[in-house]
Chains A and B, each alone.
Chain A
Amino acid sequence: MRNSMRPTRQTILLALFVAIASALHVAESLIPVPIPVPGIKLGLANIVSLAVIVMFNWQSAMLVVLVRIIIAALFGGTFLGVTFALSLSGAVLSTAVMAFVYKWWQPPFSLIGVSIIGAVTHNMVQIIAAALLVSSMDLLWYMPYLVLFAVPMGMITGITLHYFLAKLTRLKLV
């Protein structure tokens, strides 16, 4: 589907995805997470990253992620701060891993599997970045709790994406 897309159309769609991703990123920072673990996030914006990987390619996804993180940081007033560094490292690496898994291991994994791998990578990279930040490897103690949290979140984003892509195809938007 990507070959038939004209450059203007592609630019507009990517801009829309950046807008959706930024809105999700800002919205999820307003939702309190029940467990107080540094760097934990719902990962709703990951839906958009994976959607762009599927509809376009990994380069476009990386671009959308970078622009989204910068815009969201400007909205939240966290630009170049701790939160910014954590979301940047988590989002960039999880997008890279998702792109790799999508390209080579899908199948056997479905989009939900790819999404779970992305969510787990996101949380693991964030906690490692946080541990480096406070120079204390004790933070890695949180890792199993983060994995337990990431698995259902990855499933939810994967299922959302599944229906989102089905709808897009039906509307002939892509």
Chain B
Amino acid sequence: MLTRADKLLIAVLIFAAVCSIIPGLTSVAHEQLFAEIRVDGKLIRTVALRQGYSERIRIGTSQHYNEIEVADKKVRVVDADCPDQICVKTGWISLPSQQIVCLPWHVVIKLSATSQNIDGIAR
């Protein structure tokens, strides 16, 4: 049923996908991580993740919200009033370049090993 071209296509696609996933998985877990919170592409806050530190951040407007929880070295969206709830279902993220996305409210939370603003608040 599958032709040679089909098999080649499948092999190339899977190979390309696996090759671009592997480098992200092998990155060092001991680096200092920062959670960058962006709304509409604009950096709202950067939180340095460290053991024993926890914070709840509520972002949004009078119309809608996302409540973000930072605890030790991980981040999640605890609660949001977006229709799809994908951000809440994503759960905890703790590895570099992992991210939480809330499409309806245009929120992206990303973990990165380098901070754009060490001091925390950028407006």
Which A residues lie within 8 Å of B2 (CB)? 110, 112-113
Task: Find out whether the CB atom of A38 lies under 8 angstroms from the CB atom of B3.
Answer: no
Binary CB contact string for chain A from 105 to 130 against chain B (1 if under 8 A, 0 otherwise): 10111101100110010000000001
Task: Find out whether the CB atom of A116 lies under 8 angstroms from the CB atom of B6.
Answer: yes
Task: Find out whether the CB atom of B1 lies under 8 angstroms from the CB atom of A147.
Answer: no
Q: How many of chain B's residues touch chain A, expressed as a range? A: 20 to 34
Q: How many of chain A's residues touch chain B, expressed as a range? A: 35 or more
Of A37, A38, A109, A120, chain B has the most CB atoms within 10 Å of the CB of A38
Which A residues lie within 8 Å of B89 (CB)? 36
Residue among B5, B41, B84, B99 making CB contact with A83, cutoff 8 Å: B84
Which A residues lie within 8 Å of B1 (CB)? 110, 112, 159, 162
Task: Find out whether the CB atom of A134 lies under 8 angstroms from the CB atom of B13.
Answer: no
Binary CB contact string for chain B from 1 to 43 against chain A (1 if under 8 A, 0 otherwise): 1111110011001101110110010000000000000101100
Please measure, in the bound complex, the distance between the C-alpha atom of A172 and the C-alpha atom of B107, giving whole angstroms.
52
Residue among B6, B14, B86, B97 making CB contact with A141, cutoff 8 Å: B97
Number of residue pairs spanning A and B whose beta carbons lie under 8 angstroms apart: 99
Given the interface pairs A38-B103, A134-B107, A151-B10, the reply to whether A113 lies near B20 with Cβ below 8 Å is no
Task: Find out whether the CB atom of B41 lies under 8 angstroms from the CB atom of A134.
Answer: yes
Task: Find out whether the CB atom of B17 lies under 8 angstroms from the CB atom of A82.
Answer: no
Task: Find out whether the CB atom of B20 lies under 8 angstroms from the CB atom of A143.
Answer: yes
| CB of B47 to closest CB in A, whole Å | 17
Asked if B59 is at the interface (CB within 8 A of a chain A CB), the reply is no
Asked if B71 is at the interface (CB within 8 A of a chain A CB), the reply is no
List the A residue with the shortest CB-CB distance to B106. A134
Task: Find out whether the CB atom of B99 lies under 8 angstroms from the CB atom of A151.
Answer: no
Task: Find out whether the CB atom of A134 lies under 8 angstroms from the CB atom of B17.
Answer: no
Please measure, in the bound complex, the distance between the C-alpha atom of A116 and the C-alpha atom of B104, giving whole angstroms.
28
Please measure, in the bound complex, the distance between the C-alpha atom of A150 and the C-alpha atom of B10, giving whole angstroms.
10
Please measure, in the bound complex, the distance between the C-alpha atom of A91 and the C-alpha atom of B111, giving whole angstroms.
31
Residue among B5, B17, B24, B86 making CB contact with A107, cutoff 8 Å: B5
Asked if B44 is at the interface (CB within 8 A of a chain A CB), the reply is no
On B, residues with C-beta under 8 Å from A are 1-6, 9-10, 13-14, 16-18, 20-21, 24, 38, 40-41, 83-84, 86, 89-91, 97, 99, 101, 103-104, 106-108, 110
